[in-house]
Amino acid sequence: MPPLLLRNRELLLKPSLYRQSTFRFASSHPNFSSSSSKKKNTKMGDRVPDSGRPGRSSSARGRGSDTLDKLSPYRDGCSSASPTVGHRNKSSASPNVGHRNKLSPYRDGCSSASPNVGHRNSSPQTDGPPQRNSSPERLTSSHGANAQETCLEPRPFDICRTVSDGVVRLQKSLLEINREKKREQSVDVHVEHLRPGMILLKRFISYHDQVKIVQICQELGIGEGGFYRPGYRDGAKLNLQMMCLGKNWDPESRLYEDRRLFDGAIPPKIPDEFKKLVEKGLCDSHDFLKRQKKGSYIEELPWMSPDICIVNFYSNSGKLGLHQDRDESIESRQKGLPVVSFSVGDSAWFSYGDGRDVDKAEKVLLESGDVLIFGGESRLIFHGVDSIEPKTAPSNLVEETKLKPGRLNLTFRQY
Ligand SMILES: O=C(O)CCC(=O)C(=O)O
Ligand SMILES: [Fe+2]
């Protein structure tokens, strides 16, 4: 391990004096309050294998003020005249076509060229990688000696419900509607300083921006390079659906690459709107740290410009084992360039600590609209998602976007 990393790890072992230090952005009147969303050392349940996954101004302060209003064409190869989803999937000119059928061990579902007979029967909706077709299609494939197989081509994973899901929703009470309206309009961003280099911006992403995030991720997720259920080298599957933006992270090789190995898809670009929100989160965190006057804010939390975003969708049984995010470049890790994480949908219990010991990990509840940042000497903390709290997503968000039960998480990094 390089000496600097060792030093970081040693520093991580210092007791945190920072936990009670919170700060509220209420328009321009900051005040202090204590953390309420955190509990300690609850034992974690069964985990998926550790992934080893990597393991400016104060006027911008306050709630993310609907930064995502203007949707831009966010995918490579989209002409300015045709930013629509419909065009994105017309892949006749796509360089990916030739690669699409090279299946990886972690690809479930069928393809006409599929050599993976063993995986064929997994649920296409939950396990399959995205395909170009939006509806399932019967395919006949030949696997080995005279084996003739017919199966359904997996549909791309859609984080939102379709009408045919047939979910009947009950009428909301007036009280519920008013509470939600209040929540939507709230500008009560609240900052928690969890430990050196680790900041939680509660309720940072406005309701409007949360809706946009879901909509954009839904569109990207059903297109080329969209959601699939990844697995590790040993064949174990992650308990989530994943899509990468900017660069592809491969859990098997633990490398970042320009194309996805199993289907050759080029990851969509990170939408500029997402980058703006990341920038704003870092600015507001710096403003907070400046007010603390505990040392150099830029040393505690270095600046970063994301070129990678890993989008995870956890169903209610989803989880992610304790791991470090350390597959980014050595420079990025040594400089402590932060990971910035957005949470949307159902809440999650997030664990973090200095080692792999789940019992010693701290726990914090990440709710819809929260932004968690860990950089500097916290860059290499062990962290993971213990559990998802069902039915905790804002019901107006679920209603408006048709987001499926579960949690959307976006982690931004600089390679
Ligand atoms: O879902 C989360 O909050 C954490 C995700 C994460 O750690 C990762 O994608 O590396
Ligand atoms: Fe991570």
Q: Domains in the chain, ordered, with CATH? A: 3-69+165-413 (2.60.120.590)
Report which residue type is found at 120: R
Q: Residue 330, SS3?
A: helix
59 has pLDDT over 60: no
Neighbours of 261 (CB within 10 A): 16
293 exposed, middle or buried (CB, 10 Å; 0-12, 13-18, 19+)?
Answer: exposed
Report which residue type is found at 159: I
Q: How far apart are CA 161 and CA 114, in angstroms?
A: 28
Higher pLDDT, 117 or 104: 104
User: In degrees, to the nearest 5, what angle opens at C-alpha 393 toward C-alphas 162 and 135?
Assistant: 15
Q: State which ligand 1 atom lies nearest to the alpha carbon of 53.
A: 10
Q: How far apart are CA 233 and CA 229, in angstroms?
A: 14
Ligand 1 pocket residue status of 244, Cβ below 6 Å: no
pLDDT in tens, 355-400: 999 899 999 999 999 999 999 999 999 999 999 999 999 999 999 9
Return the C-alpha torsion angle 246, 250, 256, 262, nearest 10. -70
Pairing of strands 255-257, 188-195: unpaired
Q: What is the mean pLDDT of residues 232-238?
A: 84
Tokens of 107: 């690809």
What does R_g of the chain's alpha carbons equal in angstroms? 21
117 has pLDDT over 80: no
pLDDT number for residue 179 = 72
pLDDT number for residue 331 = 97
Residue keyed to tokens 């664990």: 351
Ligand 1 pocket residue status of 411, Cβ below 6 Å: yes
pLDDT number for residue 80 = 32
Nearest partner of 358 among 45, 6, 39, 25, judged by Cα: 45
- 323 known member of a binding site: yes
Residue keyed to tokens 């609850």: 42
φ and ψ at 310, to 5 degrees? Answer: -105, 120
Tokens of 363: 């726990």
Cα(193) to ligand 1 centroid in Å equals 19
Pairing of strands 188-195, 22-26: antiparallel
Ligand 1 pocket residue status of 409, Cβ below 6 Å: yes
Name the band, by pLDDT with cuts 50, 70 and 90, for residue 31.
Answer: very low
Name the band, by pLDDT with cuts 50, 70 and 90, for residue 278.
Answer: very high
Name the band, by pLDDT with cuts 50, 70 and 90, for residue 184.
Answer: low
22 has pLDDT over 50: no
Specify the range with the lowest mean pLDDT, choosing from 107-121, 127-141, 300-314: 107-121
Cα(414) to ligand 2 centroid in Å equals 13
283 contacts 60 by C-beta, under 8 angstroms: yes
